[in-house]
Amino acid sequence: MIVVSDTTPLNYLILIEATEVLSALFGQVYAPPAVLQELSHPRGPQSVRAWAASPPEWLVVQGPAQRVETLPKALHDGEVEAISLARELGAEWVLIDERKASREAERLGLRVAGTLGILEEAGARDLLDYEKSRDRLVNETSYYVTDDVLRESATRYHARKQAQEHDRQDREDVLPESEHERKHFGE
């Protein structure tokens, strides 16, 4: 699966100490050089700058061969490069939080996930505690989100969690039958 990240999801996941869920969910994640430059800004948090100075092996830093020229000038370099790289690589997902950049990515046919969506999926897969991570995101960082969006996120998380549990139960229900069949049919 090819996934490209903009700055903000990485920034916030670093701040709440949850970047490891990206490799667990996606394997490799691509980020253009402009994203690493934004994460390295001298006025940024020390933990974010340190992470950007020595990114994990699963983060592939790669710039787009060409920037999408039709994107609004108001977008930051990281957003433009992430969207451009995602299109170029045929990415399944582009990770972006900013509304305007998300809309532009979707307009170009890209699937977008933000920090909350990452936390929802990681929580549903038991990679982290969704509620604690969400609360840290909202209360310990500058991440802004409305109460309505938080409620929608919680609803999506619970639906994903329930679906994961049903899938897990279905697999468990099949296994004993298979073991039983093997015992009775000599396999």
CA angle 92, 123, 118 (to 5 degrees): 30
Please tell me the predicted confidence (pLDDT) of residue 126: 93
CA distance 44 to 16: 15
pLDDT level of residue 180 (50, 70, 90 thresholds): very low
Q: What is the pLDDT of residues 49-105, one digit of tens each?
A: 999 999 999 999 999 999 998 999 999 999 999 999 999 999 999 999 999 999 999
Please tell me the predicted confidence (pLDDT) of residue 174: 54
Domains and CATH numbers, the chain: 3-154 (3.40.50.1010)
**In Å, what is the CA distance from 117 to each residue of 61, 112, 152, 159?**
23, 9, 10, 12
Say what percent of the chain tops pLDDT 90: 83
Please tell me the predicted confidence (pLDDT) of residue 163: 86
CA angle 135, 158, 144 (to 5 degrees): 30
Q: Mean per-residue pLDDT for 105-121?
A: 96
Query: b/e map of 24-53 (b: 16 or more CB within 10 Å)?
Result: ebbeebbbbebbbebbeeeebeeebeebbe
pLDDT level of residue 164 (50, 70, 90 thresholds): confident
